Structure 1
Amino acid sequence: MVPTARESLLDAAFAALAGRPWPAVRMVDVAAAARVSRQTLYNEFGSKDGLARALVRREADTYLAGVDRALGAGGGDPGARLAAVADWTVRGARASPLLRAVLTGFWTERLPEPPGAGPPSAYVPAQRRADTAPLSPADLLGLVRDRARAALEPGCPQEEAERLGRVCETAVRLALSHVVAPGAPADLMLTVRELAWPQGRFSGPSPTAGGRSRPRSPV
């Protein structure tokens, strides 16, 4: 599928950000790299701030799409599915400084300034006003928790539903702790999987019981 002008511009801006700090990224260079006119760039995003907001929002949307894919892995094993989410969170943040900033709220001088959620600028085209409401780290955490709970909840006993929400949130928070202070991936995977074993719907033999070896990473 041929990318749209908007997708090409966002790709060009992301590539430019990998090679230089955001303040040094010029709109004219982004337009040239995307092979569109500067007018098309301004029509799409209104300003460099608008481009930054859209770039940040795309990182968040790409991350959430990966969360959904991870939740679809692991078959009926909730521990494996939560571990896949944790693994995707850590790998994605390590691969993209912009995603790391989106997930943690820690922004460096190389990145766009953290986009605010104020009223839309008059220079932002009406069809792109959604770019002016970026997701905060707390927003993303809540969305991932709710996605995980919805994916794992079918068939879950009523008395376990509340605990399930806490388990999902804890799994994501553990992954974010490894983004901020990296640790051994195998330890993260094991800890997240063990969260799903204590009781109720997630009952069953512990992944470390009976001398069983540590579970492999889901990737």
Structure 2
Amino acid sequence: MTVTAEGVRERLLASAADITCESGWSAVTMGKVAARAGVSRQTVYNELGSKPALGQAMVLRELERFLAIVERELDTHDDLVAAIRSAAEQILLMAGDNPLLHALLASAHSVSRGNEAASSTDLLPFLTTDAQPLIAAATAVIGERVERFPELDLQPHERAVAIDSIVRLVLSHVMQPGASPAETADDLAWIAARVLLRG
């Protein structure tokens, strides 16, 4: 059976995620990923390049799972604010049970206490200071779908700013949960109603 390049890439990213969940990002090497995926180390480099590129691809792969929730909620609700509220709650629930996100945040907390080398947080910027690809992907998904909601009456620039702000708010709550997912989703829906709807 022939394995497509996409299939190889998926195996590599899944292997890297498994190792990260088991032992932390600092334990991930191209050799370990290759061994777990059953390919040569050169294949890992050919498919993904450097370790930082592997990390970014792994984070974006995980993002696709979260964006599938956003797509579903925006496609199945008739009310924009209700859709955003439901999507936010489902994302926060999923984040609470996400082993890869837990491994990343645990690694970051460990470094902040001086227990690990700083290199173990190489993934953290993909969710913070270098999160633009993630934010762009999320805003694109939302931007493509909000057009069908008649209650949205914003100019293109206003709409882009509003969606960007909501995405960043949700991401901040994923990174630093506060109240319950339901309570946070209520708060985010209140904000969304005020930045997305006129009047």
Which of the five TM-score ranges fits, normalised by the shorter chain?
Answer: 0.5 to 0.7
Indicate whether 1:172 and 2:172 are aligned: no
Q: Which residue of 1 aligns with 2:145?
A: 151
* Runs (5+) with no aligned partner, structure 2: none
> Hey, what's the Cα distance between the residues in 1 that align with 2:52 and 2:164?
32
Normalised by the length of structure 1, the TM-score is 0.61
Q: Which residue of 2 aligns with 1:161?
A: 154
Percent of aligned pairs with the same amino acid: 31
Indicate whether 1:29 and 2:32 are aligned: yes
1:16 Cα deviation from its structure 2 partner: 0.5
1:1-219 matches, within 5 Å, as 4-74=7-77, 76-96=78-98, 99=101, 107=108, 109=111, 111=120, 113-114=122-123, 136-154=130-148, 156=150, 160-162=153-155, 168-169=163-164, 171-179=166-174, 180-195=176-191
More helix by share: 2
Residues 63/99 of structure 1: CA separation in 2 closer, same or farther (3 Å cut): farther
Kept in 2, the 8 Å contact 1:92–1:99? The answer is no
1:6 Cα deviation from its structure 2 partner: 1.4
> Hey, what's the Cα distance between the residues in 2 that align with 1:148 and 1:185?
20
Kept in 2, the 8 Å contact 1:86–1:175? The answer is yes
> Hey, what's the Cα distance between the residues in 1 that align with 2:8 and 2:140?
33
Normalised by the length of structure 2, the TM-score is 0.65
> Hey, what's the Cα distance between the residues in 2 that align with 1:15 and 1:28?
14
Aligned length: 181
Secondary structure of residue in 2 paired with 1:4: helix
Query: Which is greater in Rg?
Result: 1
> Hey, what's the Cα distance between the residues in 2 that align with 1:95 and 1:138?
24
One-letter identity of the residue aligned with 1:189: A
The RMSD of aligned alpha carbons is: 4.0
Kept in 2, the 8 Å contact 1:146–1:165? The answer is no
* Residue-by-residue CA offset, 1:140-187 (whole Å, 9 max, x unaligned): 4454345334423336368x2247656545543443343314212222
Kept in 1, the 8 Å contact 2:95–2:101? The answer is yes
